[in-house]
Structures are given as C-alpha cells and as structure tokens.
C-alpha cells in the first residue's frame, strides 16, 4: 500500500516570526519518488518533518490520500523515516534494531520472519547478529533502511541518508535506493542538497530557496528549462555560466546582447523568443550558458545559429574523459544570492548608524533573501567598475566543457562558438524571459 501526499499553502515559523517554510503547495503522487532539493537552511528537512508529524504545521493543510492529516500522530501516519545519522540503538544487534518498531507496533508478535525477509532483500543477512559499532557506515545505513522497510510503511521519508558516507559508497547506495523504492512501489520523499543525487534518483525534483518553492518538475525539465536564475545555478555540474549583459535592439540593425568587451549577435531571422527580447532594449539582463552550449572553434567551423567570441585561458581542469576550461571573456559574472556571496568588505566598526550592528544587518539581508525575488543583478550607481571575484571563486567568467584533445595553456587566446539556441536570458529579478515561460516545449515527448 502506498499513498498520495499533498501540501496546500503550508507554512512554518520559528523564533521572531521568520518563516522557514512559506506557503508551500506540493502534490506527491502514490508511488512517486520526489526529491526536495536546496541549499542548507532552505527548509527542506522541515517540510519532511511536517509530513512525518514531527513538526506542527502553523498554517496550511496536509492531506494524506485526500484526508486532512494535520493533527494525526506520527504513528498514525504509517510512514518510516531514514535519518542522516542512522539513529541505531548501540546496545542492540542489527536484528533487534530492525525488529524493534515491529515489536512496538504489534506486541507479542514474532518479528523474525519479516526481519529475515528484509535482510535478504538488502543482502545483510550476515550482519544481523552484529552491533552498530561493528558495522561500517554503509552497513549501518542498510540496517537503518531495513528498519524502515520492515514496517511496510505507506511512505518513505529520507533525510539526507547518504551525506555521511564517502563518495564511492554514496554512488553505490544511491543505485540501491533507486532500485529498492521502485521495486517496493512506495511513495518516497527524499531530502538532499546534492543536485547529482536529486537528478539521478527523483521522478520529480522540487527546488527550495529560503522556504519558498522555486520549481518542481522532472530532472530533465528543471535542467533544460529552469524557471529562474537560482534553479539554473543550482542544477547542473559545472554550474551554468551567468553573465551580465545589455540587450541592444536597433531598428536598422542586428539584435545583440553586449557582454562588456564582446557581444553575442542573435541569428536572423529572429526566433519568436528573440523577438520578444526587444522589450528589454537597453536593460541589463543575465545571460545563462551551460558549459556544453559553448565549443572551441573559429568562424569557419561555425554552424547555423552559432555566434563567435574569444576567450583567454585562465585555468584548465583535467577530468580524464573531459576537460573544463575557464576562460576570461571580459564579461561580468552575475552573483546568485544563497549560492555565492561577494568578497567581504574590509573590517571596520561593528556598528553603523544606517544599518545597526553587523548581526542586525545580516538578519535583515537573510529576511530579504528569504521573502524577496531571486535578485542577481543590481542597478549600478556610477561608472562600471570591474568587481573582485567572490572569495574562493576560480578565475575566469566562462567555463567550457571540451575533450582532452586540445592542448590549452594559461594565457592562450581561443575562438569560441556559442550556440544561441541554448541561450538563457533572465531579467534583473532573476526570472527567465528567454525561452519565454509561456511557450514551454513538451520535454516528455
């Protein structure tokens, strides 16, 4: 048995009235694997705990199979949680840890048959008589999953279950979780900040920022058609290139997007999406380019719809099967709040007349980010000044994925071809304006 889970305008606040979840509405279909994805502190674990009944819902409604469930006790919801820290009883063997919730639910019944059946499913029969202290991290997580599976719940709620494991083991258990949940056909809500996990596991991915749902869709949809700058930057490895540009649309010439020292010429005849960019004439926008949307090549190798720019090699990352090249094109990168921050200002007095203490200013900024739009471009108050790169950011403004065949070195000037068909344009608030939101293609065909 599995169940549908629906959240309607659900909100949760803690101290000082700050909403950690703000009017969240989400429908999870029976048997669906839904991933809640977002940076630390975005409210994804709070959503999971409200579904489980471990947190009270301040506003809104939770429906389980269409029935109001806000006041149901956790035990009455028949859900099983898998935690990040395993949560195993150290004085119990694996057999007892798996069978413990069964003995609580049905006192007097013998849980051995279900425990052994669960162990066979997970391949941990030889671990049943061991204590948690005698198990590796991966073995402990399998036991924790076995404890959840043995209960035969109507939904699995997983709160970053793989984050404490090493990378190789995470990849292995990720495949096991995917196969197991599909075999069981149980509704699964999975919380993670790792977008690689989200993209490989989820039937759908729900991206959260500051307690607000940004976008929900299939992994392919949120990657190919991000609703705003935040989703575009959070999904994809390496991160999408985000450059500040200005639309130039003269009546008697070609439409271009200025990127500072260079420009992208839009191919003619203009597509409908590019025609709609005329309303942005003279305005600053954010240009988004995935690393695969740019390739190394000169004008003679250009295909229809490709624009030529040049870049200076700043850094080369050899990945074995591919190379990530960081170029300096003279463009100004756009900064995405919550994902990266500008370089801190020089130390000064701790209190300012116009902003209060440092802590008060940080609280105000956090509140604005939580409730406000996805601001990634600010109006300039004076002449353009080349900004210092954010702390810890690699040099260059454009990352291109290519093959190891190219012998590239620092300082080399390289011609680059940009596929305009894969160009994203976002407005000053970070909302996508190209491709136009009203004309989303059907990616499921």
Mean pLDDT, the chain cut into blocks of 10 residues (445 residues total): 90 86 95 94 94 94 95 91 86 92 86 90 90 90 89 91 81 86 91 92 95 95 94 92 93 89 90 88 93 93 93 92 93 79 40 46 44 49 42 72 90 94 92 78 50
173-to-130, 237, 249 alpha-carbon distances in Å: 20, 21, 52
> Is the residue at 37 inside a domain?
yes
Phi and psi dihedrals of 141, rounded to 5? Answer: -65, -35
Quote the number of domains for the chain.
Answer: 2
**Is 389 among the domain residues?**
no
- My answer on whether 210 and 238 are in the same domain is no
Is there a domain that residue 384 lies in?
Answer: no
CB atoms under 10 Å from CB of 66, counted, come to: 9
**Cα separation, 143 vs 98, whole angstroms:** 7
Same domain, 237 and 222: no
Query: 228, 259, 292 — which closes off a domain?
Result: 228
Q: Report yes or no on 308 lying in a domain.
A: yes
CB atoms within 10 A of CB 69: 19
Q: How far apart are CA 378 and CA 435, in angstroms?
A: 22
Whether the bond into 234 is cis, omega within 30 of 0 = no
Which one, of 52, 45, 48, 47, lies nearest residue 9 by Cα?
A: 47
Q: Are 323 and 237 members of one domain?
A: yes
Pair 104, 214 in one domain = yes
Same structural domain, 203 and 104: yes
Is the four-CA dihedral 133, 137, 142, 145 of positive or negative sign?
A: positive
**Statement to judge: residues 252 and 179 lie in one domain:** no
- Last residue of a domain, which of 228, 257, 278? 228
353 φ, ψ to 5°?
A: -65, -35
Backbone angles phi, psi at 323, to 5 degrees: -130, 135
Per-residue pLDDT at 15: 76
Regarding whether 126 and 9 lie in a shared domain, the answer is: yes
- The residue from 182, 210, 228 where one domain ends is 228
CB 307 within 8 A of CB 417: yes
Distance CA 428, CA 445 (A): 32
For residues 109 and 199, state if they share a domain: yes
Tell me the C-alpha distance between 430 and 426, whole Å: 5
Residue 1 confidence (pLDDT) = 61
Determine the straight-line distance between the first and last CA of the chain, rounded to whole angstroms: 30
Whole-number pLDDT of residue 20: 93
pLDDT at 11: 95
User: Is 445 part of a structural domain of the chain?
Assistant: no
Both 172 and 246 in a single domain?
no
194, 39 Cβ separation under 8 angstroms: no
pLDDT, tens digit, 9 for 90 and up, residues 228-261:
999 999 999 889 999 999 999 888 888 999 998 8
C-alpha distance from residue 70 to each of 7, 62, 251 (Å): 10, 6, 58
Answer yes or no: is 444 within a domain. no
Nearest alpha carbon to residue 121 among 154, 146, 138, 140: 146
Contact 21, 211 (CB under 8 A): yes
Which structural domain, as residue segments, surrounds residue 22? 5-228
Whether 334 maps to a domain, the answer reads: yes
238 plus 209 within the same structural domain: no
Residues 182 and 41 in one domain: yes
Q: Which of 386, 373, 384 is nearest to 427 (CA)?
A: 373
Q: Per the domain annotation, does 388 fall within a domain? A: no
CATH number at residue 190: 3.40.50.300
Q: Cα separation of 434 and 266, whole Å?
A: 13
Q: Are strands 423-426 and 284-289 parallel, antiparallel or unpaired?
A: antiparallel
Do 118 and 246 share a domain, yes or no? no
**Distance between CA 163 and CA 161 in Å, rounded?**
6
Q: How many CA atoms lie within 13 A of 50 on its CB side?
A: 29
């Amino acid at each position: 048995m599995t169940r549908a889970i629906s959240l309607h305008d659900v909100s949760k606040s803690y101290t000082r009235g700050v909403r950690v979840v703000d009017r969240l509405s989400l429908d999870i279909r029976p048997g669906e694997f839904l991933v809640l994805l977002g940076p630390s502190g975005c409210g994804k674990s709070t959503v999971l705990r409200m579904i489980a009944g471990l947190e009270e819902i301040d506003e809104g409604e939770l429906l389980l199979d269409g029935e109001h469930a806000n006041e149901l006790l956790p035990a009455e919801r028949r859900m099983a949680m898998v935690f990040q820290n395993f949560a195993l009883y150290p004085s119990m063997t694996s057999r007892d840890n798996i069978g413990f919730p069964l003995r609580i639910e049905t006192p007097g019944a013998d849980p051995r048959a279900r425990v052994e059946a669960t162990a066979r499913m997970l391949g941990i029969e030889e671990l049943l008589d061991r204590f948690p202290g005698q198990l590796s991290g991966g073995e402990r997580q399998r036991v924790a999953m076995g404890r959840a599976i043995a209960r035969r719940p109507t939904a699995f709620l997983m709160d970053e279950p793989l984050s404490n494991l090493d990378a190789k083991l995470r990849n292995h258990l990720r495949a096991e979780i995917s196969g197991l949940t599909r075999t069981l056909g149980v509704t699964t809500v999975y919380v993670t900040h790792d977008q690689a996990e989200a993209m490989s596991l989820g039937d759908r991915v729900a991206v959260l920022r500051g307690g607000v749902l940004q976008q929900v869709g299939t992994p392919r949809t949120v990657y190919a058609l991000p609703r705003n700058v935040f989703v575009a930057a959070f999904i994809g490895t390496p991160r999408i290139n985000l450059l500040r540009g200005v639309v130039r649309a003269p009546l008697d010439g070609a439409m271009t997007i200025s990127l500072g020292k260079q420009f992208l010429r839009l191919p003619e005849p203009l597509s409908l999406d590019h025609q709609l960019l005329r309303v942005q004439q003279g305005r600053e926008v954010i240009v988004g380019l995935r690393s695969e949307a740019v390739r190394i090549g000169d004008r003679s190798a250009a295909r229809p719809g490709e624009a030529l720019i040049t870049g200076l090699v700043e850094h080369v990352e050899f990945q074995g099967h591919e190379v990530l090249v960081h170029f300096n094109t003279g463009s100004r990168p756009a900064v995405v709040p919550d994902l990266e921050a500008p370089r801190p200002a020089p130390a000064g007095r701790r209190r300012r007349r116009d902003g209060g203490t440092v802590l008060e200013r940080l609280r105000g900024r956090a509140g604005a980010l939580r409730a406000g739009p996805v601001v990634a471009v600010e109006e300039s108050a004076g002449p353009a000044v080349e900004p210092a790169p954010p702390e810890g950011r690699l040099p260059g403004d454009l990352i291109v994925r290519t093959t190891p065949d190219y012998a590239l070195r620092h300082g080399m000037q390289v011609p680059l071809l940009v596929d305009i068909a894969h160009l994203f344009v976002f407005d000053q608030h970070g909302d996508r304006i190209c491709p136009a939101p009203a004309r989303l293609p059907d990616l499921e065909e």
